[in-house]
Amino acid sequence: MWIEVNADKLELLTLAQLPDREQVQRLAERVFGSGDRPRGWFARKLQRECIDNDMSFVAADTRGVPLQTACEDPQGWYGMVLVNAPPSRPGMAHCVTLGVLRHLQGRGVGARLMDAAVTQARRAGLRRMQALVEPALVAYYQSLGFTSQRVVRTMLAFGRGSTGATTNGGPERASPEYQASGPTPAASQGLGDTASPETDARGLGNGVDSAKGEPWSPDDLVHHVELCGWLAEAWERTPPDDRLTLRGPLWCAHTSREGKSRLVHRLLVARDVDRAKVQVTATEELLDAVAAGEPVLMYGCDAKLAQSLSTRGWATVQTGTEVERDL
């Protein structure tokens, strides 16, 4: 049974005011469902996605209780907005999550949370805010001042190598199950270079090498083109044993272990080549380097890349629309 709450009377608390921001997991699971997530998933999300404590809020019922008590009791929280401002995207805030309990939706709680986040981001000197939203929510975000930019997809295929790339010191086990995600170092010199001994490299055949987590650098884009990518900080904050860089003669992919799947955080190809041809070669060699049957998720694919992948057997598992607004 829901407790009757006056949406207009909810207090907005920053995550900085909470004694333990990881308690917001309890609210997140009430809003979005608990799902089949591994232990510690929310703490990992907060850390990897650089959630900013001063720009992120929960909407709390503080009636009849001291403020400190409200800050400590997730049962009295009814909505949240999580925002980051990673250094790799200067001037840009990103709304990672906006959610309100179902019985309070449509009563202005989400708009109040977003207004508070926008105000804090503006005070921090940021100029734009971005969000990746489900297609059905685009109109709602437009009502909050956002405009649509582009559609992006997460694509799924399965490895087909005999042993495949490794993390944690041994071969990955193949599994038909997958878990979609998504979701701060030196520049590499050339995609044709082999990985250095310091990165624990090993050959996988067909000119492909693997290495434990090579650096992600903006300088890579001097000689290379990024076909898709997530967030540099998310890659750098992934546990080292879960990170793996795959490198072919003309391409490079930063990947990580996400549950039973391998997520491609970033795919680069050499700049001065036939991009369409190398794109096909890169994704084919990538699948050959991953154990047979193991799910491979490609995050952040634009329409052109997604179409190319779909013609070669990749399936769309998530679709989102990037929206932005001025601050």
SS (H, E, C) 52-114: CCCCCEEEECCCCCCHHHHHHCHHHEEEEEEEECCCCCCCEEEEEEEEECHHHCCCCHHHHHH
First to last CA, the chain: 39
Alpha helices in 186-270 (DSSP H): 232-236
Residue 41 is inside which H or E element, if any? helix 41-48
- Here the tokens at position 8 are 């207009």
pLDDT value of residue 66: 84
User: What does pTM read for this prediction?
Assistant: 0.84
In the chain, the domains with their CATH numbers are: 7-126 (3.40.630.30), 155-319 (no CATH)
Q: Which of helix, strand or coil describes residue 307?
A: helix
Provide CB contacts within 8 A for 307, sequence distance 6+: none
- Here the tokens at position 82 are 């999580």
In the DSSP assignment, the letter for residue 18 is: S
CB 101 within 8 A of CB 79: yes
Cα gap 165→163, rounded to integer Å? 7
pLDDT value of residue 46: 96
What are the per-10-residue average pLDDT scores of the chain (327 residues)? 64 95 95 86 94 97 84 92 96 97 93 97 98 96 97 96 54 34 32 33 56 75 89 92 91 91 94 90 94 95 95 96 97
Do β-strands 147-158 and 128-133 pair in parallel, antiparallel, or remain unpaired? unpaired
Residue 13 is inside which H or E element, if any? strand 11-14
pLDDT value of residue 165: 55
Q: Which of helix, strand or coil describes residue 28?
A: helix
Amino acid in position 211: A
